[in-house]
Amino acid sequence: MNKKEKESWVIHLFFGITSLLMILPLLLVLIASLTDEQSILANGYSFFPEKFSLDAYHYLFILDPGVIFRSYGVTIIVTVVGTIVSLLLTAMLAYPLSRTTLPFRNAFAFFVFFTLLFNGGLVSWYLVYARFIDLRDTVWALIIPGLLLNGFNVLIMRTFFTTTIPPTMIEAAHIDGAGEARIFAQFVVPLSKPVFATIGLFNTIAYWNDWYNSLVFLSRAKFFSLQYMLNMSLLNIQFLSQNSQNTNAASLMQSTPQETMRMAMAIIGIGPILLAYPFFQKYFVKGLTIGAIKG
Amino acid sequence: MIDARQITSEFINEPVKKRSTIWKRVRQHRALYLMMLPAILYLLINNYLPMFGVIIAFKDINFTKGILHSEWVGFANFKYLFATTDAYVITRNTILYNLAFIIIGLITSVGIAILLNEIRSKISRFYQSALLLPYFISMVIVAYLLYGMLNPEYGFMNKTILPLLHIDPVYWYMEPKYWPLILILVNVWKGVGYSAIVYIASIVGIDQEYYEAAKIDGATKWQQIKHITIPLLVPIMTIMTLLAVGRIFYSDFGLFYQVPMNSGPLLPVTNTIDTYVYRGLMQLGDISMASAAGLYQSLVGFLLVLLSNYVVRKINRDNALF
């Protein structure tokens, strides 16, 4: 083995170990969720349990599916609606800002930019949504506060529009009699698929992973997002049975595998991301590179 | 950024003619303004309206009287806040954790970016995917993963690792002394893939001719890294660091609230300004105090952003934010 090969071996070893460190905590939880409760009570969470079992999933999906499916439903709806609306809002703000002919363009850009520098703090932000427009305990509380528009995304999109949409094309479309809305929908959007995919992905992840809005604005379990439901169950495993529509849930709980169920819930919460990850990972890396260019 | 003087002087010097042409241009673009309207309204409600709410920090809030009619108390809330030890603890925690995150994050992610760039094989795609994976996981799930490791009765540490080393089990969620290290590890674990990719993107952009010239001169790999790669990464390293410095008064609420599972005994090492404000608002109901802490955070944060932008501007004008 020559020196060069030796060096690359060391690097591969390093990345092999690092990659394992990234994945092992997840793997531990996955295996624990598939372990028999008795094995866990005896040996703790382990990568090599004595006995496997699907009891945790059986309970969550078949015996008492109410809580899980409801919060999944809430999260899916919120993610879909939130992503679409916020993508539209972002693009509809970023596109005019990219047009050099727009009067007061810089003033509006600063209006967006300033939100990144200074904020009024949690208290008054909370009061706006809790007292001024009362969104508490509605599904809107998961969609509207905070997540709908992010100044950074506006700046990324504006940069993309400025650098990829030729102004001469817009002028030509004007001369042909197309209105602004039409130019935007028929020329700009189709030419900007990469940035729409990137920002859409950012938004999807933000909505899917959000638990903060539930924590701050919701007190009843009806609209708890999946992540927040997981949070509650981590702190208090009884949470599931307390909020179940299944009247036998409390007695079912007595006989259920609580520790493995906790871990099964984590897997259920992360499942869709893990399944979709190989597909969007490539896109995301590209998007990050776009984002790294100054906005 | 808009130059207000220029616009007002335009109005003053040639009032009639200029105004009518500006007005005409505005009217011409009314479709574009209409397009922006929903987003502008949203920013007004979500971002600008709360800015006026900072007056709460100067009031003794009484909800039966309403925010506007509550009594002014001047700086009393701030005096009260800074008289407590809390103010010191949350400021210290917020700043020290952020400093650790910045320094350790910079070293690990630049190191990983350089090393990953050295391997030109298919498997580097796999490494990249694995490193980036934690970035997509929500803090709630991270809390679960850590719980799997640290649960006192069944966790992997207490049941498998510590017995191997003949160490007694540790009640992790009760022992503050371990948490600075744990939180730093979690932060690096979650974020290193993301920032490494930013650095990889700029390494890829480095002109190959530099390396070819260096190779002809007989430079070793290590010399190439030291004299070409790192110096050319310095601008982006500076920007990333200064941006982080500008946010040094803010902390990841999820990391400091969810990951330690809101455990009381850990508060001395997990309480930051963000978690303090949240607890003040939602759990203790001390709105004025929470608001005072929030304003302290926003103001100092704002000044730090301005300062770090000023420094970036001095170093390289193109990289400044404004």
Residue type, A147: L
Count of beta carbons in the 10 Å neighbourhood of residue A7: 13
Residues B298 and B153 in one domain: yes
Q: In terms of CA atoms, which chain B residue is nearest residue A275?
A: B133
> Chain B partners of A181 at a C-beta cutoff of 8 Å?
31, 35
Average pLDDT of span A235-239: 75
CA distance A281 to chain B (A): 7
Looking at residue A294, what is its pLDDT? Answer: 41
Model pTM?
Answer: 0.88
Which of B118, B127, B155 lies closest to A44 in CB terms? Answer: B155
Strand partners, B72: B59
Residue A276 pLDDT greater than 90, yes or no: no
Residue A295 pLDDT greater than 60, yes or no: no
Which of B26, B40, B54 lies closest to A121 in CB terms? Answer: B54
Among A3, A19, A22, pick the best mutation site for testing chain B contact (most B Cβ within 10 A).
Answer: A22
* Domain boundary residue, one of B72, B89, B121: B72
- Please write the tens of the pLDDT for every residue from A149-202: 999 899 889 988 998 888 898 889 989 888 889 999 999 999 988 889 889 988
Residues B100 and B32 in one domain: no
Q: With respect to residue B80, please indicate whether it lies within any of the assigned structural domains.
A: yes
- ipTM, 2 dp: 0.90
CA distance B295 to chain A (A): 6
Q: Max alpha carbon distance in chain A (Å)? A: 78
Strands B59-60 and B71-72: antiparallel
Residue B191 sits in a domain of what CATH number?
Answer: 1.10.3720.10
Residues B244 and B290 in one domain: yes
Interface of B with A in 71-90 (CB under 8 A): none
Residues B119 and B45 in one domain: no
CA distance B39 to chain A (A): 5
Residues B51 and B94 in one domain: no
Residues B179 and B248 in one domain: yes
Whether B249 and B96 have beta carbons less than 8 Å apart is answered as no
Residue type, B31: A
* Domain boundary residue, one of B18, B39, B72: B72
Q: In terms of CA atoms, which chain B residue is nearest residue A18?
A: B131
Residue A125 pLDDT greater than 70, yes or no: yes
Q: With respect to residue B320, please indicate whether it lies within any of the assigned structural domains.
A: no
Expressed as residue numbers, the domain containing B10 is 4-72
Cα separation, A46 vs A40, whole angstroms? 8
Whether B49 and A132 have beta carbons less than 8 Å apart is answered as yes
Residues B236 and B146 in one domain: yes
Residues B279 and B202 in one domain: yes
CA distance B15 to chain A (A): 17
B143 touches chain A (CB under 8 A): yes
- Please write the tens of the pLDDT for every residue from B36-74: 999 999 999 999 999 988 888 898 888 788 777 888 888
Residues B120 and B159 in one domain: yes
Whether A196 and A90 have beta carbons less than 8 Å apart is answered as no
Cα separation, B92 vs A29, whole angstroms? 34
Residue A293 pLDDT greater than 60, yes or no: no
Q: With respect to residue B322, please indicate whether it lies within any of the assigned structural domains.
A: no
Whether A136 and A217 have beta carbons less than 8 Å apart is answered as yes
Output the DSSP codes for A259-271. HHHHHHHHHHHHH
Among B6, B25, B47, B49, pick the best mutation site for testing chain A contact (most A Cβ within 10 A).
Answer: B47
Inter-chain residue contact A180 with B32, CB threshold 8 Å: yes
Q: With respect to residue B267, please indicate whether it lies within any of the assigned structural domains.
A: yes
Please give the tally of structural domains in chain B.
2
Pick the range with the lowest mean pLDDT from A25-34, A38-47, A252-261, B26-35: A252-261
B235 touches chain A (CB under 8 A): no
Residue B260 pLDDT greater than 80, yes or no: yes
Which of A32, A127, A208 lies closest to B148 in CB terms? Answer: A32
CATH architecture under which domain A64-256 falls: Orthogonal Bundle (1.10)
